Structure 1
Amino acid sequence: MKQKLLEKIKNKKIVVGVIGLGYVGLPLAVEKAKAGFKTIGFDIQENKVQMVNKGHNYIGDVVDHDLSELVRNGMLSATTDFSFVKNVDFIAICVPTPLDNHQQPDISYIKSSSEEIAKFLKRETMVVLESTTYPGTTEELIKSILEEGSGLKCSDDFYLGFSPERVDPGNLIYKTKNTPKVVGAIGQDATEVIATMYRAVLDGDVHTVSSPAIAEMEKILENTYRNVNIGLANELAILCNKMGINIWEVIDAAKSKPYGFQAFYPGPGLGGHCIPLDPYYLSWKAREYGFHTSMIESSMMVNDRMPEYCVERAIKILNRNKKAINGAKILVLGVAYKQDINDYRESPAIRVIEELRKHCANVVYFDPFVPEYREHGEVHKSEPELADGLIESVDLVIITTAHTNVNYGLVQQHAKSIFDTKNAMKHIKRRDNIELL
């Protein structure tokens, strides 16, 4: 099986299947197809499948022309019919792994995808999970589902591994194509073949590890590292505010050290598909071993509380201006979870808005990248433009996303008060109406 698959990879005879056509899956499917491998995308959402088959792009990190050309040339197609799994030789599972209402891992998408794959899995197929999850998922869950559902045996009839997605939406340097990849599979042959498949597609280094669990833990470490350090920055921001010290200037001074320090910055909370969620996967799994991840959980508590802290600061600013939060008109600038993208998953800005509304504030928002967002079944629309009249009409402007295409000079000129939680206005010289987090 090993030699046969290596030969098929070399001759570009592998047919690729990508399960889940979101922020991870669609860019991966495009890169596989661009590398010369015929690719089929699978998704349960009919609208995504139709858009792909029409060559219409909906992911910022995918080049519109690349997608349309690949579809036109027959190298990329999409379907909701999982029976086409029987036609593929390499399957990448790129489905969501959210938390449930109890902040515990929801692996239902991984489970249901594996069950569908098992129905049609054929011999000599590589299956790779890319979705972030707790260590042990690949070997403890997916392996048994695939073996029981297909009647095939892992390592003898098919190869199984884990290769964590590394997607940073909006990153202008590192995309799917040139980001280094980690691969951990069940058995040396599986590791070699799966790593070879990624090397045939990507420009970044492919780093192999000894097991899927190592690769799964590695991904959790990446994002927990950031969660903990951002938690430290947020906690110091709260302390520095009490002490009358500018935390942003402190961090800028610290990062002048050329070794032993990496700059992390405070903000209104954590957003996105990884950093706010992944540490919960690890703390949940740790309890199985009677272990309490105290440092990690402490940072999670600090970060989770930041939206409420920002609202408390906003209330104090309004009070100084002899204005109650009840009935105050507040403009929130930015609901995307990071600058210059349209992704608002887990955005702390939305939690800030919700908290403000709980205090009966009249909240409007402006985001040039997110014209509307849906939360709790309701659709909220952005103000059409950031006009001086809008800015003058509000009691407070809160900057929650540091988009670079916002005219912050105009904001400073016309706002009564500004609460800048992202240091987005650091280049504005006149600062009498600006307060930093």
Structure 2
Amino acid sequence: MKDLVVVGQGYVGLPLAQAATLSGLRVAGLDRNVETVGNLNSGLSHIDDIGDDEVQLMRQRGYEATTDPSVIRGARYVVICVPTPLGEAGSPDLRAVIGASKDIAANMSPGITVILESTTYPGTTEDLVLPILQSSGLVLDVDFWLAFSPERIDPGNEVFFLKNTPKVVGGVSEISTKTAAELYAGFVDEVVCVRGSKEAETAKLLENTYRHINIALVNEMARFCHEMDIDLWNVIDAAKTKPFGFHAFYPGPGVGGHCIPIDPNYLSYQVNKLLGYPFRFVELAEEINNSMPRYILERVQSLLNEQGKPLKGSRVLLLGVTYKPDIADQRESPALPFAHLLMQKGSAVSFHDPRVSEWTVDEKKIARVSDLDDAVENADIVVLMQNHRDYDVDRLAESSKYFFDTRGVVSERLNASRL
């Protein structure tokens, strides 16, 4: 029997399984992907933050991956870390959460604590997961306990990890909060208990809504600052010298990843559903951030016009197609809609990314350049979409005919354009 079963072995579930395993718990990773399970049991990792050697150490400490939900039987804890994407019309797609909850209900034993970590709208733990678990015949606060604890995994972050990032926990009952907190206290430095599961669910949404809205603010400022010949990057550098009351956010080609483009919509959805009015800040931020790839296209088109070239037929080289620097994760990367727009206009699109070997847009495989220097020199315009540390941006900018920097990293002395 296992102390802990982590359902879902992706960017959230695998680091959790690792931390728990190294703390001495007997851990199983439950995942429906047969290939993922096979690789993990062979000591092979599929995420950036955990290397093969670390998975092999986990295996030595007793960790095992499986596709069989019966591993839940007799476990003290089960943590759900499955994807919660947006469905049609922006509504939450909770099929993976429902499926995991049903697997747990079919295999849970008295004395188990179930924790949901998958991001969702307020009320999911109590209104959706709880009834499914109760269908097992077991009784809350007698036979089992249930809580929500938002994941705070930041892929590629070299400073904050699971261990040194405070863990928020809120149960559907007071004792559920306590039992869930006891699990995390074994491998997380600080556990923060809140009033209940709805508060914990909403805390996660507030964190990412805050970022979403502030990124939208600077993205909109980027447009009018360009028109007014104001260097927004210099403005931000000046503003952040204030030691209080200001936190720097930066413009970019859009927002990506598994959190910011998705999580605020869960809050907006629930507000509209229950209260009947829109969460206007979220909807406006969504509109602005989603419009950035098209704005970048307009800027690129203007730069090409300056050299007498139409967008159609121009060779456009994209540098970096992941959503964050120095990781391979492409989820919701703004490079995808930008490339889609370029291809619609008839541009010849190629890409380079030190972390990505193959890239597909609209079911079409995009050419990956092998000789970066040669490709930069021959492209009609080079667009820096993601600033991987592998790139010597100034050198690449100097070698290009036209260089457009969406990340504000190229030196001002160079004749390059910045967002």
Question: Does structure 1 conserve the Cα–Cα contact (< 8 Å) formed by 2:148 and 2:200?
Answer: yes
Deviation at 1:404, TM superposition (A): 1.6
What is residue 361 of structure 1 aligned with on the other side?
A: 347
What is residue 102 of structure 1 aligned with on the other side?
A: 89
- Structure 1 residues 377, 152: CA separation in 2 closer, same or farther (over 3 Å shift)? farther
Question: Does structure 2 conserve the Cα–Cα contact (< 8 Å) formed by 1:402 and 1:423?
Answer: no
- What is the identity, as a one-letter code, of the residue corresponding to 2:239? A
Question: Does structure 2 conserve the Cα–Cα contact (< 8 Å) formed by 1:55 and 1:72?
Answer: no
* 2:215 pairs with 1:215: no
* 2:319 pairs with 1:337: no
Deviation at 1:89, TM superposition (A): 1.1
What is residue 256 of structure 2 aligned with on the other side?
A: 271
2:4 to 10, 16, 32: 16
1:351 to 315, 323, 337: 337
Q: What secondary structure sits across from 1:302 in the alignment?
A: helix
Question: Does structure 1 conserve the Cα–Cα contact (< 8 Å) formed by 2:84 and 2:120?
Answer: yes
Distance 2:124 2:262 in 1: 16
Distance 2:408 2:412 in 1: 13
Question: Does structure 2 conserve the Cα–Cα contact (< 8 Å) formed by 1:330 and 1:363?
Answer: yes
> Would you say how many aligned residue pairs link Structure 1 and Structure 2?
418
RMSD: 1.3
* 2:110 pairs with 1:123: yes
Distance 1:57 1:38 in 2: 19
Deviation at 1:429, TM superposition (A): 5.4
- What is the identity, as a one-letter code, of the residue corresponding to 2:238? A
What is residue 54 of structure 1 aligned with on the other side?
A: 42
Distance 2:213 2:5 in 1: 35
Q: What secondary structure sits across from 1:106 in the alignment?
A: coil
* 2:25 pairs with 1:37: yes
- What is the identity, as a one-letter code, of the residue corresponding to 1:251? I
- What is the identity, as a one-letter code, of the residue corresponding to 1:260? G
Instruction: Show CA shifts across 1:306-356 (max 9, x none).
Output: 011111111111111110000000000110101111111000011111111
- What is the identity, as a one-letter code, of the residue corresponding to 2:385? T
Distance 1:381 1:412 in 2: 21
Question: Does structure 1 conserve the Cα–Cα contact (< 8 Å) formed by 2:125 and 2:172?
Answer: no
What is residue 322 of structure 1 aligned with on the other side?
A: 308
Question: Does structure 2 conserve the Cα–Cα contact (< 8 Å) formed by 1:371 and 1:381?
Answer: no
- Structure 2, gaps ≥5 residues long: none
Distance 2:58 2:206 in 1: 35
What is residue 284 of structure 1 aligned with on the other side?
A: 269
* 2:174 pairs with 1:191: no
1:124-273 to 2 correspondence within 5 Å? 124-148=111-135, 150-203=136-189, 205-273=190-258
- Structure 1 residues 36, 381: CA separation in 2 closer, same or farther (over 3 Å shift)? farther
Distance 2:253 2:88 in 1: 22
Instruction: Show CA shifts across 1:92-130 (max 9, x none).
Output: 100001012322111111111111111111111010000
Distance 1:377 1:41 in 2: 32
TM-score, normalized by length of structure 1? 0.93
- What is the identity, as a one-letter code, of the residue corresponding to 1:319? N
Q: What secondary structure sits across from 1:314 in the alignment?
A: helix
What is residue 8 of structure 1 aligned with on the other side?
A: none
Q: What secondary structure sits across from 2:73 in the alignment?
A: helix
* 2:409 pairs with 1:421: no
Distance 1:377 1:81 in 2: 33
- Structure 1 residues 110, 379: CA separation in 2 closer, same or farther (over 3 Å shift)? farther
Question: Does structure 2 conserve the Cα–Cα contact (< 8 Å) formed by 1:61 and 1:175?
Answer: no
- Structure 1 residues 19, 380: CA separation in 2 closer, same or farther (over 3 Å shift)? farther
Instruction: Show CA shifts across 1:47-98 (max 9, x none).
Output: 110111111122221243332022134x200100111111311001000010
Distance 2:88 2:231 in 1: 37
